[in-house]
A and B are shown apart, each in its own frame.
Chain A
Amino acid sequence: MASDTTNGVKQNSTVEIKGLYKIFGRRPKHFMDAVKEGMSKQELQEKHGHVLGLKDINLSMPAGSIQVVMGLSGSGKSTLIRHINRLIDPTVGEVLVGGQDVCKMGQGALRNFRRHETAMVFQKFALLPHRTVINNVVYGLEVQGVPRDKQETEARRWIDRVGLSGFEDNYPNQLSGGMQQRVGLARALANDAPLLLMDEAFSALDPLIRMDMQSVLLDLQTELHKTIVFITHDVDEALRLGDRIAILRDGEVIQEGTGQDIVMEPADEYIQNFVKDVNRARVIQTESVMKAGVHSGATVEVSDSANLQDAARIMSDAQQQVVNVTNGDGQVVGHLDLETTVAAIVKQERRHTTPGSEFSA
C-alpha cells in the first residue's frame, strides 16, 4: 500500500485531479477533440446526443483538509466525486490519490485501493437493510477480510463515537434519517481509510439534524485529520465545513478558494447569487478587514482568525468601539473598529457587470 501509518493516521492522501473530462453517451472519445476545441455543452447535447458531465477539471486537495465541492443539481458534483474512487470511469484525465493514478489501476488494485484507501458516505445512506447497525458498520472490514472479533471491536468503537451506542442490534429502518446517516458515517470511519468521500451526505436530513451532523464531522476531523471531499449544494454547509471550496457549474470549476475568498470576491454573478444570503459576519475573518497598527485606545483583543461576529460581540460586551487584533502568538497585528466591522458585515458586493459577460445579456 502506498500509505504508511503514523500515529494511526495514514499519510499521503492528497488528491490531485488533472485535466479530467467526462462525456456520457455511446461514443464519448469521438467528441473529445470537439469539446477540447470549445464545443458547448448545449451543442454537444442537442446535435450529438452526448452529455458533457465534466469539463477540464483541475483540482488539488491537500491531505488532511476538507475540500468542499459545491454546485446545484446537474452541475456534475456527484459525477466528480465518483471519479475519485472510480465508480465512474473518466473519458480522459488523471485522478491521483497519494500519487497513484486511480484511472490506471487494474481490477484487483482498484479493489484494494477502495478497501484500504477510501471510504464513502452516501446521500441516501445506502445501508444494507437486512443487516443490523453493527453488521452494517463492519461491512468495510468484512470485505477486507479482518477477523470477526476485531471487526466488532472497531465497529463498536465507531458506533460509540458517532453517538449510537445501544442501537447496535437495531435495523436501519428502525432509525431516523439522522441516525441512519450516523451509521453511514461510522461504516465509513471504521474502514480507517485516509480519504473520506461524502456525497451530499447531510442533504437528506432536516436542518437541525444537519447542523448536528456537521458538528459531529468537524469534531471528528479535529482528531482524525483525514482528507475529506464533501459534496453539497448548500452554501452554508460549504462555508461551515470547507477548508477550501470549489464551485462547479455545468461541469466546470468556476471558482476555487477558501470560504472567505468566495464570499468576499465572488468570481461571477452565479456565485454572487449563491452567497448573497450568507451570514457574512460568520465567514469573514478579522484579519481580512482590519486596519494596520496597534490602536492605543483599545482595551480588548480578538484573534486574527476569529470572525466578525466574534469581534462585534467582544466589542459590545466590553462596550468598546475598537479592538486590537492578535495573531496566533498573541502579538497585535492590527486593529478593528466597530464602524469597519459593521460595514464589512452589511456590505453587498458591487455587482459584477463586466461588459459582454453572458449574464448582462
Chain B
Amino acid sequence: MEWLTEFPAMDKTALRALKKGIDGGFRAWTREHGDTVEAFFEPIKQMLIWSEKFLLNTPWPIILGGIVLIAWLASRSWKITLMTLITMVLIGYFDMWDNTMRTISIMVVSTFVSIILGIPIGIAMSKSDKLQSLITPVLDVMQTMPGFVYLIPVVMLLGIGKVPGLLAVVIYAIPPIIRLTNLGIRMVDKEVLEAADAFGSSPWQRLKNVQIPLAMPTIMAGINQTIMMALALVVIASMIGVKGLGQPVLQAIANQYFTLGMFNGLAIVGVAIIFDRVSQAYGKRLQSHSEVVHGK
C-alpha cells in the first residue's frame, strides 16, 4: 500500500539526470552564445552607465532642482512638488543620496525599456485575439514566477551586473503595461471607431487619432503600475549586483541592522510615492478634457 501514502514520483536517478541534462544544455548554450547575447545588450548597458554617471556626477543641487521641476511640470500641484522636495532633502540628509540616484537610474531606464517594448506588444495584442491568447499565459508566468527563479538563467547568461538586473526588472515590470495597453484599446467606444472608419481613416490614422488617445487613461495606469513594480524589484535585483537602495537593505537583513534596513526601506517608499503621485497627476492632467462637464 506504499503507493497510497507516497506519491508515485519519478525515479530519483532519472530525475537527477533530467535536471542535469537541462542545466548542462543551457550552460553549453550560454558558453557558446554568451558573447553574442552580451553584445546585443551592449547599447542598454551603455545607457545604464550613462544615466547613472549623469545622476551621480551632476552636483546634487542641480539634480534636486531638476527632480522638483519635473514634479511641478508634470503635476502642476504645489502639494506634490513640496512633498517631492522634502522627501529628497531627507534622503540626502540621511546620507542615502548616491544609492537613491543609482536606484532612480535603473528604474527610469527599465521603465523606459518597458514602455518602448510594452506598448507595441499591447497594441499588437489588441488587434488579434489569437495573439492575445498566446501572450496572456506568458504574462501570467512572468508575473507569478518568483523573481529569484528567473534571476538564475539571467545570471548564467549575463553574469552579475547592471544588464541582468535590468532584464530581471523589465521581465517583472512589463506585464502591466502590456495588459493595460491591450485592455485600453479594446475598450475604445465602438461608435467612435465606426466614425473614424466612416471618414476613411487608415489603420494608422485610426490608431493615432482614436485608439491610443482614448486608451490613454488606461495606458497611463499601466505605466504607473510598471513603475511601482520596477521599484518593488529593486531589493531582489540587488542580489545580482545592482547597486542602489536595495544593497544596504540586503546587508541589513544579513546582519540584523534594523535601522539601516528601515532607513533604506523608507527611502524606497519615498521614491515610490514621488513617482506614483507625479505620474498619476500627469495622467489626470492629460485627461483634463473629461473633467469639465456640460453645465459648468
Interface size on A, residues (CB 8 A): 32
- CB pair B213–A128 under 8 Å, yes or no, is yes
Give the interface centre of B189, B202, B213, B294 by most chain A CB atoms within 10 Å: B294
| B194 sits at the interface (CB 8 A) | yes
- CB pair B198–A87 under 8 Å, yes or no, is yes
How many angstroms from the CA of A119 to the CA of B296 in the assembled complex? Answer: 32
How many angstroms from the CA of A128 to the CA of B198 in the assembled complex? Answer: 14
- CB pair A129–B289 under 8 Å, yes or no, is yes
- CB pair B292–A173 under 8 Å, yes or no, is yes
Q: Mark A268-308, 1 if CB is under 8 A from B, else 0.
A: 00000000000000000000000000000000000000000
- CB pair B199–A115 under 8 Å, yes or no, is yes
| B15 sits at the interface (CB 8 A) | no
How many angstroms from the CA of A245 to the CA of B296 in the assembled complex? Answer: 41
8 A Cβ contacts from A126-151 to B: 126-130, 139-140, 142-144
Q: Mark B260-296, 1 if CB is under 8 A from A, else 0.
A: 0000000000000000000000000000011011101
User: A174 with B292: in contact, given A124-B191, A130-B213 (CB under 8 Å)?
Assistant: yes
Residues of B close to A118: CB separation below 8 A = 198
Q: Mark B208-241, 1 if CB is under 8 A from A, else 0.
A: 0110011010000000000000000000000000
- CB pair B214–A130 under 8 Å, yes or no, is yes
- CB pair B289–A126 under 8 Å, yes or no, is no
How many angstroms from the CA of A129 to the CA of B209 in the assembled complex? Answer: 11
8 A Cβ contacts from A224-264 to B: none
How many angstroms from the CA of A222 to the CA of B214 in the assembled complex? Answer: 37
| B192 sits at the interface (CB 8 A) | yes
15 additional A-B pairs beyond A130-B214, A143-B205, beta carbons within 8 Å, are: A87-B198, A111-B200, A114-B200, A115-B200, A116-B200, A120-B199, A122-B195, A129-B214, A139-B199, A143-B199, A143-B202, A173-B289, A173-B290, A173-B292, A175-B294
User: A126 with B200: in contact, given A143-B205, A171-B292, A173-B293 (CB under 8 Å)?
Assistant: no
Tell which of B191, B205, B214, B294 touches A174, judged by Cβ atoms closer than 8 Å.
B294
Residues of A close to B199: CB separation below 8 A = 114-115, 119-120, 139-140, 143, 191
How many angstroms from the CA of A126 to the CA of B198 in the assembled complex? Answer: 11
- CB pair B200–A113 under 8 Å, yes or no, is yes
- CB pair B289–A171 under 8 Å, yes or no, is yes
10 A-B residue pairs with Cβ-Cβ distance under 8 Å, sorted by A, are A123-B191, A126-B195, A129-B192, A129-B214, A129-B289, A139-B209, A171-B290, A173-B293, A173-B294, A174-B294
Identity of the chain B residue whose Cβ is nearest the Cβ of A179 in the assembled complex: B294
Q: How many B residues touch the partner, as a band?
A: 20 to 34
- CB pair A122–B194 under 8 Å, yes or no, is yes
| A85 sits at the interface (CB 8 A) | yes
Identity of the chain B residue whose Cβ is nearest the Cβ of A82 in the assembled complex: B194
| B197 sits at the interface (CB 8 A) | yes
Identify the A interface with B (CB < 8 A): 85, 87, 110-116, 118-120, 122-124, 126-130, 139-140, 142-144, 171, 173-176, 191, 197
How many angstroms from the CA of A112 to the CA of B200 in the assembled complex? Answer: 7
How many angstroms from the CA of A250 to the CA of B189 in the assembled complex? Answer: 27
| B201 sits at the interface (CB 8 A) | yes
Residues of B close to A191: CB separation below 8 A = 199
Residues of A close to B292: CB separation below 8 A = 171, 173-174
Residues of B close to A176: CB separation below 8 A = 294
Identify the B interface with A (CB < 8 A): 189, 191-192, 194-202, 205, 209-210, 213-214, 216, 289-290, 292-294, 296
Least distance between B238 CB and chain A CB atoms (Å): 41
Tell which of A111, A126, A173 touches B191, judged by Cβ atoms closer than 8 Å.
A126
Residues of A close to B293: CB separation below 8 A = 173-174
How many angstroms from the CA of A179 to the CA of B57 in the assembled complex? Answer: 57
How many angstroms from the CA of A149 to the CA of B57 in the assembled complex? Answer: 47
Residues of B close to A129: CB separation below 8 A = 192, 214, 289-290
Give the interface centre of A85, A171, A191 by most chain B CB atoms within 10 Å: A171
Least distance between A172 CB and chain B CB atoms (Å): 8
Least distance between A115 CB and chain B CB atoms (Å): 3
Residues of A close to B202: CB separation below 8 A = 111, 143
Identify the 10 closest CB pairs spanning chains A and B, nearest first: A115-B200, A114-B200, A126-B195, A120-B198, A171-B289, A126-B191, A140-B199, A111-B200, A130-B213, A126-B192
Residues of A close to B197: CB separation below 8 A = 87, 114
Residues of B close to A144: CB separation below 8 A = 200
How many angstroms from the CA of A166 to the CA of B107 in the assembled complex? Answer: 46
Identity of the chain A residue whose Cβ is nearest the Cβ of B293 in the assembled complex: A173
Identity of the chain B residue whose Cβ is nearest the Cβ of A117 in the assembled complex: B200
Least distance between B194 CB and chain A CB atoms (Å): 6
- CB pair B200–A174 under 8 Å, yes or no, is no
Residues of B close to A197: CB separation below 8 A = 198
Residues of A close to B195: CB separation below 8 A = 120, 122, 126-127
Least distance between A135 CB and chain B CB atoms (Å): 10
How many angstroms from the CA of A112 to the CA of B195 in the assembled complex? Answer: 15
Least distance between A291 CB and chain B CB atoms (Å): 50
- CB pair A143–B200 under 8 Å, yes or no, is yes
How many angstroms from the CA of A142 to the CA of B204 in the assembled complex? Answer: 13
Least distance between A195 CB and chain B CB atoms (Å): 11
